[in-house]
Structures are given as structure tokens and as C-alpha cells.
Amino acid sequence: MSDAESSSELRRGVVTTLSTELATPSPFHFGFDIAPWFADALAAATRDCPVDRLVIFTDHQVFQRCGREIHDPLARRWPHVNIHLLPEDETTKTFAHLERACQRMVDLGITKRSLILALGGDSIGNVAGLVAGLTFRGIRFVDVPTTFTRQTDGSLSNKRTINSSCGKNHFGLYHAPLFVWSDAQYLLAEPVRVRRAGMVESIKNALVHETSFLPVLQRRLRADCEYTEAALSQLALATIRSKLSILRGDPTENRYGLVLEYGHTFAHALEWLAAGELLHGECVAIGMRLAARVAHRVGLIDQPLVDLHDELIADRLGLRPRLPPSIDGTVMLSTMRADNKRTTDAVRYVLLEGAGRCSNREGDYLVTVDDEIVRDVIDEFLQITEPPATKSAQAQCDERLHTAILQGLYESHREQVQRAPTANPSPR
């Protein structure tokens, strides 16, 4: 998608509708300043089964910032609109909050014709979707994401999860929204740290699948994370499209879609151990850099691709989070044994074998690696000190980007040639 095409789609008030590739349609509506049209969209989507009660799940800060423009038009159209407030961070994703929310739905008189609306970031979206999926074995819900992470990543997946006492996202289910309403105007109010962490998923999509997105990120990412309305909206829409290109072949993320978990085995352990000191995207950034080093150590990728990870994350995006001193390789490995992608007793990882290509040598896009190798990689990484980016580092990033893309395209072409059937000569 060119900048010109993106700009035409992102005029104020214009809604772009994308498919999330599910068998039962769950459209993704994206635009800038599109809140005035939300109530009409909801009425149209529920015309065949009108809503009797509507509950908005949100947190105090989000509601103060943008809740009224969603709530008030709904309250004028539907007589029973309630608000359920939750904490604004990962502490929301607990059985205690889930139980209270489910019980409140019953107390409010929710029926199979009711609807839950998630207004907020990933934690709100997870709990609201899980409550909707559990209540009476499933009622409708709509996702209105307000963060870069939620708009470009979490709202496109149908996984609704909470945490256990020993790790992230251990309990949950799949429950697709009736639709997603993604207004890029909400992204302007995000704190810079949160926005920067959200953009890590953009880099991830490019590295695991969408190599054509790498030059786009090279042009658009800013180390200060300050963007115009148009630039921020364009980057969000491009990231959404990059993830949809992966989901097109596996919308439930059970097969090839597992590549979207790149860096997340490390990240979930880091996030858990950091106990709120690090954001999810910051942990994914570290996780991808660790995954690249593991892949290099076992001979899957070369050093320039490892360096490309470092340059895109640390220099282009300006993300250099510091880990708590209590974390080391042994502690990380112990926590990763509770990873939610476990298929055996061993810890397994999504690893690259080239730009845009994840290793599938074990048949499920997960790779088993000896614990000692992983422990050594983690401990070595923790010793790294990162000076600020320099112009020479940016030039090196350009070279690594070019090399990685060319190598990825070459390998992809070679595989296609090897798979191609031998042509039979035509009869004369």
C-alpha cells in the first residue's frame, strides 16, 4: 500500500472495513475520528437480533478520555446501558476480576440477546471477551481498542485470556467479536512509552512474514516516537494489514499463525518476572532479540539478521528497556517451562531461518533448543550495554535491511523452484 493510497483511506470520518478472515464474518472497521458513526454501526450489526442490555467494560482513565463519545449515543438509543470499570493494567487479568465481572452480568439481568463492549487496551479486551465467551456459553461482544497494541495486534486475534499464579495467558478461550471498531484518533493520547512498546509488533510482523513491510518501517519509525495524525494512522493501518496477511492462512493461529508468537516465549516470562516494571511490547522486543541470538547460535540465521533486529528495535524505534537485576538465564528458563504454547516437556521457540521465514523443521513452527544454549544466550545478552544510535549505525541498518530482504526473497524463490513439478514435454 502506497502512502497516497493510505492517505485517501484515512480522511477524517472515513471508515475502512477489512476482513479478519473468519468463517463467520467479524469485520474490522478502521478510521480516524469515526466515533460519531459507532452507534449506527452497532445498530446495523444487531438489526436481526436487537440488543436488550449493553455493558461497557473499560477503565477509569479511558472512560474519562473517550468514554462519553461512545457511551452517550448508545444510552440515547438503548435503554439499558451499564459501565463495568476494571483496573487499567495486567492486574485485571485474574480469576478474581473475572468472577466479579461474570457475577455482575447475572445481577444486571444479562440475557442471550445482550452485548458486552470492550473499550480500552489489551487487558480490558481480554477480560471483556472472556466474560462474553463464558456468559451463558457465549454472548455477543464488540471490541473498541484504544491503544496501538490493541488496535494493531490484540483485537485481530480471537484469544481471550487471563493469567495464572505462575505465568501469563494460561486460561482462556476463543471468542470472536461481532466487529472491531478501531479509531486511530485514540492513539494520539497514548503516552510515548506505551506507543513505542506497541510498535514492536509492527517489527515482528515484518521479520516473520511481511518482508515488504521492512522498508516501510525503515522510513516511518522514529526514535522519538512523535508522529503526525496522518503518519500514526498510516503506520497503524499498515501494521494491521501486515498481521492480516498472516491470519489469512490461519485465522485461529493454531498452525502457521504461531509465527505471530515470535519472541513471546521469552517475553511472557520476562513480563511475568518483571511484575509490572516492563510493558508487554518492551518484553517482546527483548524476546525477539533473544530469539534471533538463539537462532544464530544453532545455525539457522546469519549475524546480519541478528544485527537487523538490534538496529530496528534499539535504534530505529529507540527501545532499550532495562531488565530488573533479579532476572537471569536460570530464572527465565524456569518460568518459560510454564509457557502457554507447550506441546512437550521441553521449552520450544518460534525461530527465524531467514528474513520473513520461520523454521518449520519440526512440523509446527516451534523449535526445540537445548536449555544450556538458551541459558548462555540470555546471560550473554544481559551483559550488553547499548550506546545511543549513531549515523553510522543507521547506515549499517540500511545495509542489513537490504541484505536480509534479498536473502529472504532468494530463499523463498529457491524453495518455490524446488517444489515446482517437472514439466512434461508437450506432444507434438
Query: Which of 188-192, 337-341, 409-413 shows the lowest mean pLDDT across its residues?
Result: 409-413
Interior angle at CA 354, CA 353 and CA 358, nearest 5: 50
Cα–Cα distance, 393 to 399 (Å, whole number): 10
Residue 21 binned pLDDT confidence (cut-offs 50, 70, 90) = confident
Tell me what percent of the residues of the chain surpass a pLDDT of 70: 86
Beta carbons within 8 Å of 331's beta carbon, 6+ residues apart? 273
What is the pLDDT, as a whole number, of residue 9?
Answer: 65
Could you tell me the pTM of the whole model?
Answer: 0.86
Return the number of other C-beta atoms located less than 10 Å from residue 137's C-beta. 7
What is the pLDDT, as a whole number, of residue 384?
Answer: 76
| Fold match, 3-190 / 194-414 | no
Domain 3-190 coded CATH 3.30.1330.10: no
- Asked if 178 and 141 touch (Cβ cutoff 8 Å), the reply is yes
- Say which CATH topology domain 194-414 has: Dehydroquinate synthase-like, alpha domain (1.20.1090)
3-state secondary structure of 172: strand
Q: For 90, which DSSP code? A: G
The full set of domain ranges for the chain reads 3-190, 194-414
Positions marked catalytic: 159, 261
Residue type, 368: T
User: Is residue 428's pLDDT more than 90?
Assistant: no
What is the pLDDT, as a whole number, of residue 8?
Answer: 56
Return the number of other C-beta atoms located less than 10 Å from residue 34's C-beta. 20
Return the number of other C-beta atoms located less than 10 Å from residue 157's C-beta. 22
- Asked if 352 and 204 touch (Cβ cutoff 8 Å), the reply is no
Return the number of other C-beta atoms located less than 10 Å from residue 52's C-beta. 15
Cα–Cα distance, 84 to 275 (Å, whole number): 25
User: Is residue 245's pLDDT more than 70?
Assistant: yes
